[in-house]
Amino acid sequence: MRSHPQPPVALTIAGSDSGGGAGIQADLHTFAAHRVHGTSVITAITAQNTRGVTAAEPVGADLVRAQLDAVLGDFAVAAVKTGMLGGEGLLALVAEYGEADRLPNLVVDPVMVTTTGDALFAGDPAAYLARLGPLATILTPNLIEARQLLGREITTIDDMREAARALATYGPRAVLVKGGHREGAGEEPGDGGRSAEGVRGGTDSVTDVLWCDGQMLDLAAPRVATRNDHGTGCTLASAIAARLALEHPLPQAVAGAKTYVTEALKAAADWRLGLGPGPVHHHHGRKSAAL
């Protein structure tokens, strides 16, 4: 009988997407694709498909705390990713666990708004920076989120670099400002999922900006012609967390995660799962001897 090495454990703290393309479901798919054992704390339940969100219900703080205690009290979690937190109450609760050094390799994806501009965070965006900024290994805002966090316009690559520097002053070790954009039906890796116009890094590429340990890096990736871009931001953040759980150095974890999302977009480019923008192919590189 062939033995298998024990996988590291990653935790996602996020909302549930009943359509399976974003949120908890995308995070767990991504962890599995990286051969990382995924655990989860659900912060909200949504009625959602490829065409949008029709209803959402937050999970109470007591139940979120119970989920955190259940996971962290039993598993040796190596990395944590946060997504939709909903408001300052759950934000403070997550910060409490981070301040107690219980959330290692913390990837903070500051989910605050939908594609259509509906708020997903009922509170002051500055609270994200005040509570989770000092605790984050990396903060991964898209352009809309970076604008909200800083209260300024961000339209050029230089603006993105300045935004990354400004966000870094709140304490995270690294900041990834994602520059994905919409052109026709296509969205790009790192854009948070159909979320914003962004900055093009050349005719056939898009650029994200990474500030890490005092250095600024531009990360370009090919532009993928596809409508199936739902959940790319969740997927990118969880891929970074998975790679940190696998003990990849942070800059390499970010670059590798970006490549993973680009390939996931390519692999699902012709899918028609649902009537709207569908999910990416999270398991594009994985093969099983059982199949």
For the entire predicted model, the pTM comes to 0.90
Residue written as tokens 């398991």?
A: 283
Domain 9-267 sits in CATH at 3.40.1190.20
Q: Which residues contact 100 (CB under 8 A, 6 or more apart)?
A: none
Question: For 51-86, how does the pLDDT look when each residue is reduced to its tens digit (9 = 90+)?
Answer: 888 888 999 999 999 999 999 999 999 999 999 998
Residues 137 and 173 sit within 8 Å (Cβ to Cβ)? yes
Residue written as tokens 């454990």?
A: 9
Residue 115 has a pLDDT of 59
Domain range list for the chain: 9-267
Question: For 90-108, how does the pLDDT look when each residue is reduced to its tens digit (9 = 90+)?
Answer: 999 999 999 999 999 999 9
Question: For 181-211, how does the pLDDT look when each residue is reduced to its tens digit (9 = 90+)?
Answer: 433 333 333 433 333 333 434 457 889 999 9
Q: Which residues contact 241 (CB under 8 A, 6 or more apart)?
A: 10, 12, 31, 79, 80, 81, 105, 107
